[in-house]
Amino acid sequence: MSTGPIRRVLATIALSLSLSTPALGDEQPNILLVILDDIGFTDLGAYGSEISTPNMDALAARGAQFTNFHVAPTCAPTRAMLMTGADSHRTGIPTLEHMVIPEYQGQFGHEGELNTAVATIAEHLQAEGYQAFITGKWHLGRSRTALPAARGFDRSFILDSSGADNWEHRTYLPHYTRAEWWEDFEPVLEFTHEHYSSAFLTDRLIGYIEDGDPDRPFLAVLSLQANHIPVQAPREFTERYAGRYDGGWDALREERRRAAIERGLVPESTQLAEQPPALRDWESLPEREREFAVASREVAAGMLEAADHHVGRLLGWLEAQGQLDNTLVVILSDNGPEFNRPTDNWAFGMWLAMQGYSRDTENLGEQGTYAFIGPEWASASASPLSLFKFHAGEGGVRVPLIMAGPGVEARGLVSGFSFVTDIAPTLLDMAGAEALPGREPMTGRSLLPVLTGQADGVYGPDEAVGLEMSGMSALWRGDWKLARSMPPHGDGQWRLFNLAEDAGEARDLSEAEPEIFASMMEAYRAYEARVGVIPVPDGFNSSERIAALGWKAFFDQHGLMLAGLGMLVVMLLGGGLILVLTRQR
């Protein structure tokens, strides 16, 4: 019989007997939730990175640093589960909007925005007297029922697109005609970034807290664009990494693997999985592409250091206000590192040129430039884990999670499995709050027993946790993981891994352990039925679908102009031909 349930019951009893409130005090804690975007497992300094992130590292040192925390393979489903504690298929956002199958749109759980069956953390806490503020990326809908202002947030300045430029008010993809910024219920049609996005969003959040009620606890969400495409950062941060990445992505991938083992983040037996065949070889890369790759990686490092700087600035402000000691801080990434090389798409390259974006390495990262790291650097960011964003490999779904503040013991590394749906019930427990009745129940579990040192984990060895997003699927149970990654860098085959020995998913055990494989498949099918997964059609390829939507958006916006240019070219060619024939006569 598994001892997991017994341990959880005993931990719960111990807590109820020893604590007057879950926050370990009579005062409800403030909660600061920092959401990073597209950050790999080993991108933060505390996780073995060469990137300077001293403020987040300090939080890890005085709190809990999770090494086995999981999210969805992409942003919107993760954010839906983070905000609600419910499985993404119950929230209305089971996948990215660009990957929705049209015939599924509108079915329960597939509404395309945060539905009203679930409640957000802010709504739950609002009923307990909390005020709530959010700045940055939301990406959960922009209707009158889905915006943060309708979901428990008193003030909000949010982006409901998947991303945006960090220096100007403009979109980063042809899929959007504009960057969808909103303040409370009103669209922000124009505004000027007087500062870089991380600075701007931090300033706005500080302003909201400052204008709030000093006698009420707050939930504050800082949802930064670091390190989403376009990768951009002030020169003062980027230049600190000049020459650091000249050795290439293979060298960095191995360096990160060794650092993760030395820090105890993964077992010593962890090996790197074989790279997908489509990834480029560093040594054979043309010089110009290598220069852009190095410069892009330097900007990505600067972008993350800048994010850490502004997180530190916010923490410093809270300390100056006398509020930091009573503020629970939670930091996580919404998924693994971004792998896309958008300029592989001809239409996208033309769109970039028409927008005036530059990829000049001399000032890459600054205003008017457009950078990205691609799958090779993304693999290094996730190292020693396999794959990256949009895929079910650990590199796409295992990310940093740091928690520190009142009620959190200095736990150091926490290796027990945890999932993004666990955050919401944890925050409610820490605040001594009850979930609102009549809403979709949370599927996650409170991590409070872990944070207070009462338990090493909240899931027993026989308890399964499932995940699905557009065919990218996984099931974790004890040390075992069942996974299927779809194209572009997966093949749609189910594989079995023992993560306690093989965190890098280098050895598929599906044939060596047929009984475990069959049992895990059965548990996964039960998960699909329980949460309402609608399988994707055979041959579904998320990248091809996104690219097709990009082509359509490009021609919808510029089709007439391109047709006119085409006619002009034909006329010029025709006129030239007539002139040549006339002269020959």
DSSP output for 326-380: GEEEEEEESSS-----GGGSHHHHHHHHHHT-B--TTSTTSTTB----HHHHHHH
HEC profile of 163-185: CCCCCCCCCCCCCCCCCCEEECC
Element at 56 (helix H, strand E): helix 54-62
Given the residues 70, 75, 309, 489, the one annotated as active site:
75
Cα(345)–Cα(348) distance, integer angstroms: 5
Cα(348)–Cα(386) distance, integer angstroms: 28
How far is C-alpha 25 from the chain's CA centre? 32
Is residue 75 annotated as a catalytic residue, yes or no?
A: yes
How far is C-alpha 267 from the chain's CA centre? 25
What's the length of the chain? 585
Cα(512)–Cα(318) distance, integer angstroms: 54
Give residue 287's identity as a one-letter amino acid code.
Answer: E
Is residue 139 annotated as a catalytic residue, yes or no?
A: yes
Cα(106)–Cα(102) distance, integer angstroms: 9
The phi, psi pair for 169, rounded to 5°, reads -85, 80
List, in order, residues 6 or more apart from 577 with CB less than 8 Å away: none
Residue in the block written with tokens 């926490």: 414
Sign of CA dihedral 65, 69, 74, 76: negative
DSSP output for 237-268: HHGGGTTTTTT-HHHHHHHHHHHHHHTTSS-T
How far is C-alpha 218 from the chain's CA centre? 24
Give residue 474's identity as a one-letter amino acid code.
Answer: A
Element at 236 (helix H, strand E): helix 235-238
β-partners of residue 466 are: 475
Backbone φ/ψ region at 129: left (φ over 0), alpha (ψ -120 to 50), beta? left
Cα(504)–Cα(507) distance, integer angstroms: 8
Task: Retrieve residue 564's tokens.
Answer: 């006119």
Contact criterion met (CB below 8 Å) for 232 and 165? yes
Given the residues 70, 89, 139, 310, the one annotated as active site:
139
Cα(84)–Cα(119) distance, integer angstroms: 6
Angle 287-320/54-62 helices, nearest 10 degrees?
60
Task: Retrieve residue 480's tokens.
Answer: 């075992």
Which whole-number Å values give the CA distances from 103 to 107, 374, 472, 536, 551, in the listed order? Answer: 9, 32, 19, 11, 21
Task: Retrieve residue 300's tokens.
Answer: 């990505």
Give residue 467's identity as a one-letter amino acid code.
Answer: L
Which whole-number Å values give the CA distances from 577 to 571, 580, 581, 584, in the listed order? Answer: 10, 5, 6, 11
Residues that are catalytic? 75, 139
